[in-house]
Amino acid sequence: MSDALEGAVALDTLENLPLGVLILEAGRIQWVNAALCDMFHSTRREVTGLTAQRASSTRFASLFDDSGRLSLTEPEGTTRWLERRRLALADASLIVQCFQDITARVKFEEECEHLRGRVAALETKDPVTGLPNRKAIMQVLEMQVSRSRRYQNPLSLLLLSVQSPTASAELHDTLRGIGQALTDQLRWADQLGMLDPTSFLIILPETALADAEALAAHLAENRIHLPKIATAATVMLGAAAWQKGDDPRKLLQRLQGNQKLCSAALLP
């Protein structure tokens, strides 16, 4: 009597859980509770007895896969997300799976990711050097190119790129050291920023190519002081000047093509 009572109480508990529950035996669904039927907009009769083969072309196919998270398309076209957990039983012939509706959590995660993207889009500082990031320095470059187009003013660029096999912490120290050294030696009108995580773009308004190349030579000859730069670091330095017909993309392509290896000159 007690065994029968315990079985009835257990079954009634499973039936009234706020989670979807199914029990499989030998790859066949033997029992589901009302909550799981509601999640799949189905009846117990539709689900009970299904095997993976019979369910393969139906909306119940996901009940037999190995994913921990399921997505269901609701009749109105929205998506419902379920999280699956498998329970270990002493009777290895039975498999019990529980399904929790996590739609609200997934929507919250998506909203957080969207907000992180918006914050990143608004960010203007490189996280390592504190200099303007690519978005910010490209805005300056576009403005300066537009100014040169309109007034035919000279405009030159320098590009200094660092590659190092050292650990990130040491490379970050190197980048910060270069950023500070360049900041100390540039004019107030010059603009310095990060074109990518390891490349410094220097914008030199009212500067002809010959003067930009002289500045590049000066930086190399004076050996920028980089306290913790690794001896294995590779530094590339190049100069280019705006020409009639250039847009920022063409100017940057020419600048990158003009870079030359100069790590030995820049190392302390």
Hey, what are 196's tokens? 């990518």
Strands 28-32 and 199-205: unpaired
pLDDT of residue 223: 55
Domains along the chain with CATH numbers: 2-107 (3.30.450.20), 125-266 (3.30.70.270)
pLDDT of residue 4: 47
pLDDT of residue 165: 74
* Per-residue model confidence as pLDDT tens digits over 3-32: 544 566 777 788 888 899 999 998 999 999
Mean pLDDT of the chain: 86
Give helix then strand counts, H and E, for the chain.
Answer: 10, 10
pLDDT of residue 139: 93
Q: Give all strands (DSSP E) within the chain, no chain letters.
A: 20-25, 28-32, 69-73, 79-87, 94-101, 155-163, 191-196, 199-205, 234-241, 260-261
pLDDT of residue 54: 93
Nearest CA to 194 out of 131, 143, 147, 248 is that of: 131
DSSP assignments along 162-189, one per residue? EE--S-HHHHHHHHHHHHHHHHHHS-TT
Which residues does the chain have with pLDDT short of 50?
1-2, 4-5, 226-228, 263-268
pLDDT of residue 173: 85
pLDDT of residue 89: 75
pLDDT of residue 227: 47
